[in-house]
Each structure stands twice: as C-alpha cells, then as structure tokens.
C-alpha cells in the first residue's frame, strides 16, 4: 500500500479531523481510491459537471468527527442539480428550495418532536450536534442521480460505517429506504440501534416513514445507554464548508 504524499487524496485526508484520519486514513492510499480519483479526473476532462465541489466531497466527515458521532443518517448520493449538494446527506444550502424528501423529514420531525420546520433545508446543525450525514456515494454527475454509485465510493463509505460500528460507544444508525437498509448487515444491531423504515421520498413516505418517529427513538436509545441525546433543532445554519482546523485537524 502506497502511503506517500503523492496520493491524489493527500489534501483531502489532511483536512479530516484526527479521529477520522486515525481510523480510515489508510483507505485513501488503496488502489480503489486511486482509481476513483482517476475516474473523477476523467469525468472533469470529458467536460462533465460533478457535484458537490471538491472541497465539499468529504464535508460529512469534516463536520462530524468520529469521536463526536451519536447517530448516522445514511443517504444514497448527493443532489444532482446546481447549487443543491453540500456534502451532507439530505441537506441543501439556505436559499435553495427544500427538496420533497427533506420536506417530509421536516414533517416527521414536527410530528415526532413538535419542532416546527425551519424555512430552509440546511442540516448543518444536526452535523454539529453529532449526526453523521453520510451518503453511500459521495459524488454524482449533474442531472444523473446514481451515476457514481458504481465508481468505488461504496467501498470507502462502508469503511466509514465500519469505523463507527467498531467503536464501543452505542450509536444510532438511521436507515431510510432499501439502499440504506442494505448496509444493515455491516452493523452490530445488538450494540447499536438500527432504525429502519421506508424512505422519506413522496413515493414511499406514506408506506412507513411517517409515524416511524426516528428522532425520539434515537434519543430514547441514547438515554437508555446513559448518553446525551441529539439536539434535533435545525437552527442555526452554518452552511460554510468546514476547514481543516474546524475540529482539530492538522
């Protein structure tokens, strides 16, 4: 395994909090991650637009260090329209129209905890409160949802999930929809909470997402383990991409 500074991911790895670098840092030097970097370079050379911007690809890890994770919300891939993707699953920047799935998440949040939905779709407050907002694929081609699903990202994000799963601290994994639920076998359901339901998409929200009470169930689980619950309020919103020093990264 090559661990030299010539890695195409050297800068991205250096920007991560130390807790992530210590557990998954070696993944950046694997052949599949080098191949993934080559794939993204080829996409750019072909004139394709890829979301999110390079500095936001690993925003979920930058924003929520491994040692701060209380819960994980697993999405599929970034939003594929201009101005939407910010590297956090289901989240869009302020001023961007709230997507339908996120509107349904807002509705369930209000029905579950009585929290009124904010006028924006920014979820950085959750990330800062210890919710890892991870997509299984971290990039996507403009206008083509799922286009990078087979590019190699799943191997990387499975390692991210494994790192969270391996911690002795009980954690809540929120798995909405079939794509997320396929990751359940990677996780220890005896130590952690695996909250599985239908996806919040308008196509499936009424088939088991609404009324599933993910937010209160996560907090009940954490409280039962003597852990601090998640603050699910969605204000304030800090949509700036976190920098290398945000959480003590070198």
Q: Tell me the pLDDT of the chain averaged across its residues.
A: 93
Distances (CA, A) of 50 to 31, 46, 62: 22, 11, 20
The residue-averaged pLDDT of 179-207 equals: 96
**Length of the chain as a residue count:** 250
Is residue 84 within 8 A of residue 94, CB to CB? The reply is: no
Q: Which pLDDT score is estimated for 72?
A: 98
Q: 180: which residues sit within 8 A by CB, 6+ positions away?
A: 74, 75, 76, 136, 174, 196, 199
- For the stretch 196-247, pLDDT in tens is 999 999 999 999 999 999 999 999 999 999 999 999 999 889 888 664 433 3
Interacting residues of 197 by C-beta distance below 8 A, sequence separation 6+: 175, 176, 208, 209, 212, 214
Task: Please indicate, yes or no, whether the overall pTM of this predicted structure exceeds 0.85.
Answer: yes
What is the token pair recorded at 238? 């800090």
Active site residue 77: yes
| pLDDT range class, residue 5, cuts 50, 70, 90 | low
Q: Please tell me which residue in 2, 29, 67, 77 is annotated as part of the active site.
A: 77
Across 53-65, average pLDDT: 97
In this prediction, residue 248 carries a pLDDT of 30
Q: What is the CATH number of domain 10-225?
A: 3.40.470.10
Mean local confidence (pLDDT), 77-84: 95
- Give the residues across from 174 on adjacent strands: 73, 195
Share of the chain above pLDDT 90, in %: 90
Report the C-alpha dihedral over residues 203, 208, 212, 218, rounded to 10 degrees: -80
pLDDT at residue 2 tops 50: no
């Amino acid at each position: 395994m090559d661990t030299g500074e010539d890695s195409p991911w050297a800068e991205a790895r250096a920007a991560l909090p130390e807790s992530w670098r210590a557990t998954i840092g070696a993944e950046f030097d694997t052949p599949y991650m080098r191949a993934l970097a080559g794939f993204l370079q080829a996409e750019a050379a072909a004139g394709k637009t890829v979301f999110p911007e390079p500095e936001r690809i690993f925003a979920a890890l930058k924003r929520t260090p491994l040692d701060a994770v209380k819960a994980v919300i697993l999405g599929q891939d970034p939003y594929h329209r201009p101005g939407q993707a910010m590297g956090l699953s289901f989240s869009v920047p302020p001023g961007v129209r709230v997507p339908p799935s996120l509107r349904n998440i807002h509705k369930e949040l209000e029905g579950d905890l009585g929290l009124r939905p904010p006028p924006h779709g920014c979820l950085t407050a959750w990330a800062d409160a210890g919710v890892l907002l991870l997509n299984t694929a971290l990039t996507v081609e403009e206008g083509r949802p799922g286009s990078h699903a087979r590019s190699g990202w799943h191997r990387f994000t499975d390692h991210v999930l494994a790192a969270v799963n391996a911690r002795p601290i009980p954690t809540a994994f929120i798995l909405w929809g079939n794509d997320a639920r396929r990751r359940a076998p990677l996780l220890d359901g005896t130590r952690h909470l695996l909250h599985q339901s239908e996806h919040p998409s308008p196509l499936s929200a009424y088939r088991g997402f609404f009324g599933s009470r993910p937010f209160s169930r996560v907090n009940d689980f954490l409280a039962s383990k003597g852990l601090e619950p998640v603050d699910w309020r969605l204000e304030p919103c800090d949509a700036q991409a976190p920098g290398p020093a945000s959480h003590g990264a070198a």
